[in-house]
């Protein structure tokens, strides 16, 4: 019964939180650019409008992929809140992205296909870092299960500071923010039009937007994991982390995929690796 | 009772003889169908008999002993002659070395008595299922494929009889390999598979196929020599050549040297780095050959041997290095697959990659690692058989095996495209089992941090090349004319295999309980590090809380829900793709003076970052270093 409530709450609350955060993002971004910006509830108005539009597609299968993207994201969030296996959650999250990529590749549009391939390169960049993060958490806590990880008696961040830095780094890629907004950006005027989402419109685009909100919540839950000892510290950390992402988004220009790949594999993965090895020595060998 | 095991080996060989003798299409078809039915029946019957150690009557045993000894020398002589005919001195030399070593060894130690001729346990069952169900299905598919293939070649005289002879011989040899207890017999069947693969790869008899077949023969001869040395060391270290005695041996440390040599032999057979080139070269053979080599025979012999010997060397330093070497093949083959646009090469690298994972899992001292290794042998076997046969059909349909030419294949060949999709999805996405084995691999490899890092990277590479592959199969194409006609003899085996792909994944836990757990219980019983927790049947919560039935349930529910949503969102309007409103159609835009400029988009192959050749070079050097380390570890 309790589990059913958690499932229901996470399915209903996550998009509300995700949408709200997106609204705040837009507001802050606007203020940083000396604009007044839309109201904080604007993302909700947008999505209602999207769902009230006519369904226009290039290819029928697009609807399926958009739907799968949403479903996989919801499943990942639910699994996280049911405190299941972290690695499996990561796999599910990866398949949400895969669904989106396949959706973009289903049409013959060069914009969306290039976007899809850039997204694929992003996967190549961040996936090893994310898995390394989870393995490092395992070394410290002795478990892949969130249930057991939460029983750890101190802040995870104390053991995993470099891992957290690496994670914040790939968070920028995962949230598709500058300098790593290669596959799609929040502004329509880039060289790829809207990249991976170019060919989605109306309610189908709405499904993807909704999926993004779940994704955002899940990623911030990962941040929470590092500070789970104290709920207030965790909320503060999440907000600071998210704010920093917005700042970085606004002060940097886009990099090419090659630079992204090189930077992520050297800097972020390097950071993760160093931390991974020291916790391995500390908790396994000593 | 013993006769069913003899049947498994000798019946296909007798059938092979008749197929060779009578070159008649309908006779061949009848024999292939008959043998398929018999093999499946006999294999299932032998499985129903449970674990067995078979003792033959004394006279029969020694007759077989003489027969196999003689045939073994005969086989080496044939390989020697092939070497001289190909003017490849190295092959001849390797054959002579094997011959001499074997002869001196058998002459010196006299008659090697192994009372228990056949040793059949649950690992053998897993292999028997794979060989005798997937193998015949591929053979049936090949009936239609080879006819088409020969039409393309414009042969005056059909060579199909030779082709099917070799395939039947191959299946018999594989059966022998997985049930023999005497390691000398295992070696004999091992060599037959080497010869068979040579014959199959060179089947088309053109320059390229002979060249690649020669390479396969050469690399596998290195493995053969390593196998012989392993046997000799094994005898002098432990005083026995019986597998069941070796794997229950109490002192594993003295067996390290023979195990290292046998593992090297397994590396060559399973095309591990740096021996991968022969399997890639094998792509020139007709596609059913690739399907056979990759799924139920040949390469699976190598991983079978490692898994079979695993109880002896697990959790030693040797096993740690083997795990790193296997994981290294996993990551580097996955990386190389990203550069490929040839569908068969993508599949080949994916096979090499998965075999590396199986070897790594077989040598990690963890209960679930062994489970996952055994499961992956089956899961990979069925999926890869399906994929190769599908790609073969596509190649015959559109005349190309390049992924870039597969735009719109879902319109042109809907059945095969759908089955290809199923096959590739089963290698990547949940709830199919291959993903579960990868998941287990990461979780158990935390014991071996080097292997773990390799598996982490390999896992990311795997996602990239499969997604590119799947994306292409699903993509739109200009040409939408359906060219596929339903052919019973071709499509039924495909559908049968795809049903198996789904069934194995749905009943993953039941399958594990039925076959893998008993194998683990019997083989790893003496090894306390692995089996310290009392082994019970595998319940859902033990499998990391993963329940395939629930996941498939969610999938079905999602599809139903999706169908409902689709009705709700039913597209009212189809539009062309966005081309800044300058479309002519979906495949071109209006350029200067309204002239139509067509565009196309190809997948990324990252040529600007690196290419296959450089990566291969680096990878080969590193893997040779790993093998040197592997042998360095065992030296005292």
pLDDT tens column, A23-33: 999 999 999 98
Rounded to an integer, the average pLDDT of B359-369 is: 89
Question: Which tops the pLDDT comparison, B483 or B327?
Answer: B327
The verdict on a CB contact (< 8 Å) between A55 and B558 is no
On whether the CB atoms of residues A145 and A82 are closer than 8 A, the answer is: no
Nearest-CA residue of chain B relative to A52? B569
Choice among B300-304, B574-578, B580-584 with the minimum mean pLDDT:
B580-584
Say if the Cβ atoms of B575 and A57 lie within 8 Å.
yes
Contacts of A96 (CB under 8 A, 6+ apart): A68, A69, A72, A73, A76, A211, A215
Residue spans of the domains in chain B: they are 314-526+538-569
Inter-residue contact B552 to A46 (CB < 8 Å): no
C-alpha to C-alpha distances, B495 to A124, A264, B208, B372, B525, nearest whole angstrom: 34, 43, 32, 26, 39
Are B282 and B290 within 8 A, CB to CB? yes
Return the closest-CA partner of residue A80 out of A160, A181, A7, A180. A7
For residue B591, how far is the Cα from the chain centroid?
Answer: 50
CB distance B406 to B376 below 8 Å = no
What pLDDT shows up at residue B519?
A: 87
**Mean pLDDT across A104-115:** 85
The kind and range of the H/E element at B30 are helix B25-48
Q: For residue B307, what pLDDT band results from cuts at 50, 70 and 90?
A: very high
Q: Distance between CA atoms of B381 and B260, rounded to whole angstroms?
A: 26
Q: Which helix (H) or strand (E) holds B573?
A: strand B573-574
How far A41 CA lies from chain B's nearest CA (Å)? Answer: 25
Which of B206, B230, B383, B418 has the alpha carbon at shortest distance from B318?
B230
% of chain B exceeding 90 in pLDDT: 27
- pLDDT at B380 (0 to 100): 93
Give me the mean pLDDT over the B358-376 stretch: 90
Q: What is the pLDDT of residues B595-613, one digit of tens each?
A: 888 777 777 888 777 788 8
Sign of the CA dihedral with B551 first, then B552, B553, and B556 last: positive
Residue B453 CB-half CA count within 13 A: 11
Counting one residue from chain A and one from chain B, the pairs whose CB atoms sit within 8 A come to 147
Q: How confident is the model at residue A182 (pLDDT cuts 50, 70, 90)?
A: confident
Report whether A258 contacts B609 (CB < 8 A). yes
Q: How confident is the model at residue B533 (pLDDT cuts 50, 70, 90)?
A: low
- Chain A residues in contact with B474 by the CB 8 A cut-off are 61, 102, 105-106
Q: Quote the pLDDT of residue A190.
A: 65
Tell whether A91 lies on the interface with B, counting CB pairs under 8 A.
yes
Among A253-257, A258-262, B242-246, B535-539, the least confident range: B535-539
Q: What is the pLDDT averaged over residues B563-583?
A: 74
Ranking A53-57, B65-69, B146-150, B532-536 by mean pLDDT, the lowest is B532-536
Note the pLDDT of residue B634. Answer: 83
Over pLDDT 90: what percentage of chain A?
A: 44
Query: DSSP class of residue A142?
Result: S
Query: Residue A193: beta bridge partners?
Result: A190
Range with lowest mean pLDDT among A241-250, A271-280, B226-235, B564-573? B564-573
At B542, is the pLDDT very low, low, confident or very high (cuts 50, 70, 90)? low
pLDDT-based confidence at B16, cuts 50/70/90?
A: confident
Q: Any chain B CB within 8 A of the CB of A38?
A: no
Confidence at residue B572, expressed as pLDDT on a 0 to 100 scale: 67
Task: Kindly report the nearest CA distance between residue B578 and chain A, in angstroms.
Answer: 7
- Which pLDDT belongs to residue B528? 55
- H helices of chain A, in order, are 2-32, 42-52, 61-81, 86-105, 110-141, 146-149, 156-159, 161-174, 202-226, 231-251, 257-263, 269-280
**Overall average pLDDT of the B87-107 stretch:** 88
Position B569 scores a pLDDT of 67
| Predicted pLDDT at B349 | 93
Whole-number pLDDT of residue B146: 86
ipTM: 0.90
**Cβ–Cβ contacts within 10 Å for residue A253, how many?**
7
Chain B, nearest residue to A202 by Cα: B569
Give the tens place of pLDDT for each residue, A56-76: 888 878 888 888 899 889 989
Average pLDDT, integer, range B336-342: 89
Rounded-to-integer distance, Cα B502 and Cα B432, Å: 8
Predicted confidence (pLDDT) per residue in B129-144, tens digit: 999 999 999 999 998 8
B310 Cα to chain A: minimum distance (Å): 24
pLDDT digits (tens, 9 = 90+) for A186-234: 765 567 778 888 888 888 899 999 999 999 999 999 999 999 888 899 9
Q: Cα separation of A150 and A155, whole Å?
A: 10
Using the predicted structure, report yes or no on whether residue A48 has a pLDDT greater than 70: yes
> What value does the mean pLDDT take over residues A255-260?
87
Q: Which pLDDT belongs to residue A188?
A: 58
Can you give the pLDDT at residue B408? 82
* Count of CB atoms situated within 10 Å of the CB of B587: 18
The per-residue pLDDT for A167 is: 93
Q: Which residues of B21-44 are buried (b: 16+ CB within 10 A; e: fewer)?
A: eebeeeebeebbeebbebbbebbe
**What pLDDT score does B306 carry?**
93
Instruction: State the Cα–Cα distance between residues B467 and B460, nearest whole angstrom.
Output: 11
| pLDDT surpasses 70 at B119 | yes
In the predicted model, what is the mean pLDDT of chain B?
86
Tell me the pLDDT band of B480, cut-offs 50, 70 and 90.
confident
Q: Residue B549: pLDDT band by 50, 70, 90 thresholds?
A: confident
Q: Do B472 and A105 touch (CB under 8 A)?
A: yes
pLDDT of residue B227 exceeding 80, the answer is yes
- Asked if A207 and A67 count as a contact pair (C-beta separation under 8 A), the reply is yes
Interface test with A, best of B472, B571, B582, B598 (most A CBs within 10 A): B571
pLDDT (0 to 100) of residue B359? 94
Query: Are the beta carbons of B363 and B313 closer than 8 angstroms?
Result: yes
| 8 A C-beta contact, residue B359 and residue B351 | no
Least confident of B223-237, B266-280, B532-546: B532-546
Partner B, chain A 48-77, Cβ-Cβ below 8 Å: 54-61, 63-64, 67-68, 71, 75
The rounded radius of gyration (Å) of the Cα atoms in chain B is 25
Query: What residues are paired with B588 via a beta bridge?
Result: B585, B598
Contact A110 B569 (CB under 8 A): no
Would you tell me which residues 111-170 of chain A have a C-beta closer than 8 angstroms to some C-beta of chain B?
Answer: 111-114, 116-117, 120-121, 123-124, 127-128, 131-132, 135, 138-139, 144-145
> pLDDT digit string (tens) for B177-222?
999 988 888 999 999 999 999 999 988 888 888 899 999 999 999 9
């Amino acid at each position: 019964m309790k589990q059913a409530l958690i499932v229901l709450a996470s399915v209903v609350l996550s998009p509300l939180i995700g949408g709200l955060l997106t609204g705040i993002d837009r507001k802050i971004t606007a203020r940083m650019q000396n604009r007044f910006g839309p109201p904080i509830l604007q993302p909700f108005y947008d999505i209602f409008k999207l769902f009230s539009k006519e369904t226009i597609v290039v290819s029928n299968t697009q609807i399926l992929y958009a739907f799968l993207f949403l479903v996989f994201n919801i499943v990942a969030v639910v699994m996280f809140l049911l405190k299941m296996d972290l690695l499996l959650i990561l796999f599910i999250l990866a398949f949400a992205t895969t669904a989106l990529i396949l959706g973009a590749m289903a049409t013959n549009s060069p914009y969306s296909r290039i976007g899809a391939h850039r997204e694929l390169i992003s996967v190549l960049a961040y996936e090893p870092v994310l898995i390394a993060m989870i393995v490092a958490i395992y070394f410290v806590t002795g478990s892949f299960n969130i249930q057991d990880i939460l029983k750890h008696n101190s802040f995870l961040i104390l053991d995993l500071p470099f891992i957290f830095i690496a994670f914040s780094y790939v968070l920028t890629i995962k949230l598709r923010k500058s300098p790593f907004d290669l596959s799609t950006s929040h502004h329509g005027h880039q060289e790829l039009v809207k990249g991976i989402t170019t060919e989605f419109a109306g309610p189908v685009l709405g499904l993807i937007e909704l999926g993004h909100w779940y994704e955002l919540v899940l990623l911030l839950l990962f941040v929470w994991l590092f500070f789970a000892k104290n709920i207030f510290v965790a909320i503060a950390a999440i907000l600071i982390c998210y704010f920093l992402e917005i700042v970085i988004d606004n002060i940097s220009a886009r990099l090419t995929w090659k630079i992204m790949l090189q930077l992520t594999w050297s800097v972020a993965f390097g950071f993760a690796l160093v931390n991974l090895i020291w916790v391995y020595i500390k908790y396994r060998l000593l | 009772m013993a006769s069913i095991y003899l049947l498994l080996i000798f019946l296909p060989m007798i059938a092979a003889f008749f197929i060779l003798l009578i070159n008649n299409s309908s006779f061949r078809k009848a024999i292939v169908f008959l043998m398929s039915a018999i093999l499946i029946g006999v294999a299932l019957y032998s499985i129903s008999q449970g674990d067995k150690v078979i003792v033959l009557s004394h006279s029969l045993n020694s007759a077989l002993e003489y027969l196999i000894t003689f045939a073994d020398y005969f086989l080496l002589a044939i390989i020697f002659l092939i070497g001289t005919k190909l003017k490849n001195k190295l092959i001849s030399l390797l054959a002579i070395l094997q011959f001499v070593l074997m002869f001196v060894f058998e002459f010196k130690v006299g008659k090697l008595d192994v009372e228990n001729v056949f040793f059949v346990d649950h690992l053998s069952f897993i292999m028997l299922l794979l060989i005798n169900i997937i193998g015949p299905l591929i053979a049936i598919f090949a009936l239609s494929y080879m006819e088409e293939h020969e039409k393309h070649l414009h042969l005056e005289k059909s060579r199909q009889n030779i082709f099917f002879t070799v395939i039947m011989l191959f299946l018999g040899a594989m059966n022998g390999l997985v049930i023999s207890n005497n390691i000398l017999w295992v070696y004999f069947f091992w060599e037959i598979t080497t010869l068979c693969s040579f014959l199959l790869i060179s089947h088309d008899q053109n320059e390229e196929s002979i060249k690649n077949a020669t390479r396969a023969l050469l690399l596998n001869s290195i493995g053969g020599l390593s196998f012989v040395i392993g046997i000799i060391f094994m005898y002098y270290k432990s005083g026995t050549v019986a597998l069941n005695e070796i794997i229950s041996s109490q002192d594993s440390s003295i067996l390290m040297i023979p195990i290292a040599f046998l593992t090297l032999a397994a590396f060559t057979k399973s095309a591990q780095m740096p021996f991968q080139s022969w399997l890639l070269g094998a792509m020139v053979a007709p596609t059913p050959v690739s399907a056979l080599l990759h799924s139920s025979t040949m390469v699976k012999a190598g991983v079978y041997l490692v898994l079979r010997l695993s109880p002896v060397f697990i959790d030693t330093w040797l096993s740690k290095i083997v795990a790193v070497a296997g994981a290294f093949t996993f990551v580097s083959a996955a990386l190389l697959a990203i550069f490929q646009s040839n569908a068969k090469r993508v599949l080949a690298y994916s096979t090499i990659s998965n075999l590396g994972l199986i070897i790594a899992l077989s040598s990690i001292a963890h209960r679930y690692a062994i489970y996952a290794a055994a499961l992956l042998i089956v899961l990979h076997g069925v999926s890869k058989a399906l994929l190769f046969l599908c790609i073969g059909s596509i190649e015959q349909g559109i005349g190309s095996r390049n992924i870039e030419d597969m735009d719109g294949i879902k319109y042109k060949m809907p059945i095969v495209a759908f089955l290809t999709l199923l096959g590739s999805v089963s290698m990547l996405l949940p709830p199919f089992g291959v993903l579960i084995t990868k998941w287990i691999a990461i979780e158990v490899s935390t014991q071996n941090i080097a292997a773990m890092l390799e598996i982490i990277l390999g896992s990311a590479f795997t996602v990239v090349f499969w997604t590119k592959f799947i994306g292409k199969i699903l993509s739109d194409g200009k040409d939408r004319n359906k060219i596929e006609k339903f052919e019973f003899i071709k499509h039924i085996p495909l559908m049968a295999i795809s049903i198996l792909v789904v069934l194995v994944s749905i009943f993953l836990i039941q399958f594990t309980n039925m076959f893998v757990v008993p194998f683990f219980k019997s083989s790893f019983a003496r090894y306390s590090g692995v089996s310290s927790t009392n082994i019970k049947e595998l319940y859902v919560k033990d499998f990391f809380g993963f329940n395939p039935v629930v996941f498939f349930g969610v999938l079905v529910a999602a599809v139903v829900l999706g169908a409902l949503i689709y009705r709700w969102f039913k597209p009212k309007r189809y539009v062309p793709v966005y081309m800044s409103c300058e479309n002519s159609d979906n495949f071109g835009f209006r350029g200067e003076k309204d002239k139509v400029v067509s565009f196309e988009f190809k997948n990324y192959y990252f040529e600007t970052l690196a290419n296959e050749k450089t990566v291969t070079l680096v990878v080969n050097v590193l893997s040779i270093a790993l093998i040197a380390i592997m042998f360095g570890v065992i030296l005292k």
